Amino acid sequence: MEISPWELMQRGGPVMWPLLGACVIAVALILERSVLFLWSYQTLRGAIRGLRPLVLDGAWVRAERWCERRGPLAFLARIYLQNRSQPKEIREDILKREGSLQVGHLENRLRWLAILAQISTLLGLLGTFHVMIDKFYQAQASGHAMNPEEFSAAIWEAFLTTMFGLVVAIPSSAAYQLFEARLDTITREMGALVSYLDEWCRAEESGVRSQGSGVSQGPAARAQKSDAKIPAS
């Protein structure tokens, strides 16, 4: 015998409606966060491959133009490049603030998935107890014991809410853990990228100094060498 979804909702009791609402909200959150994470997807390897030669060559305009692409790593690199002339303490404060805001934007509404997973499980258990208590109370009020068919029907109807609660809770919990893992990866990569930018900027500055030093001291050094070659009279 096939049972329609509408009949399942009715047999599950009033708790089925909050579970249906939780299911709709969970699906909407998972889709919205998935689109956001895919839209802003960026790898640390790609950022290193794109920025390293530009920073080491001192091509600041091209480097900032590269950072105009979407993604948290490109965003943080643009903030770094725009404030590279600031003192280190000020630059670190700016990067920390902007990085926290970027991570907070990605983390927005993720806690709702964890809350929905917990609430859906508890609502499922509440609905199960509600249906069982209601069925047993009706049997006691009628004055006759439940036969095996009525008892089995009461059991499977009672477990409907538990099943629906788990149907909502399991995907919500899995999606929450996956999103949190990706967010942790992004946070670590942002810290690593800032460290790489510090290293590249120091290397670029030392290269500029060494070139400038070679140009300024070159004639004097050549004059000393030429003087050394002239024999004393």
The predicted pLDDT at position 212 comes to: 56
pLDDT grade for 36, boundaries at 50, 70 and 90: very high
Q: Is residue 80 part of a domain?
A: yes
Do the domain assignments include residue 105?
A: yes
Top-confidence residue, 138 or 228? 138
**Segment 102-138, tens digit of pLDDT:** 999 999 889 999 999 999 999 999 988 888 887 777 7
- Return the pLDDT at 82: 92
Evaluate whether residue 1 is within a structural domain: no
Q: Is the pLDDT of residue 60 over 60?
A: yes
Q: Is residue 3 part of a domain?
A: no
Residue 193 counted as domain residue: yes
- Judge residue 11's burial from the number of C-beta atoms within 10 Å of its C-beta, 0-12 exposed, 13-18 middle, 19 or more buried: middle
Does 155 map to a domain? yes
Whether 214 maps to a domain, the answer reads yes
Say what the pLDDT of residue 77 is: 94
In the chain, the number of structural domains is: 1
Q: Which of 53-67, 136-150, 153-167, 174-188 has the lowest mean pLDDT?
A: 136-150
Model confidence at 228: pLDDT above 70: no
- Is the whole model's pTM more than 0.85, yes or no? no
Of 74-78, 146-150, 227-231, least confident by mean pLDDT is 227-231
Provide the residue range defining the domain that includes 39.
14-228
Residues 176-213: tens digit of each pLDDT? 999 999 999 999 999 999 999 999 999 988 876 565 55
Mean pLDDT for all residues in the chain: 84
Residue 7 in domain: no
How high is the pLDDT of residue 179?
96
Percent of the chain having pLDDT more than 70? Answer: 87
pLDDT surpassing 50 at residue 231: no
Residue 75, pLDDT above cutoff 60: yes
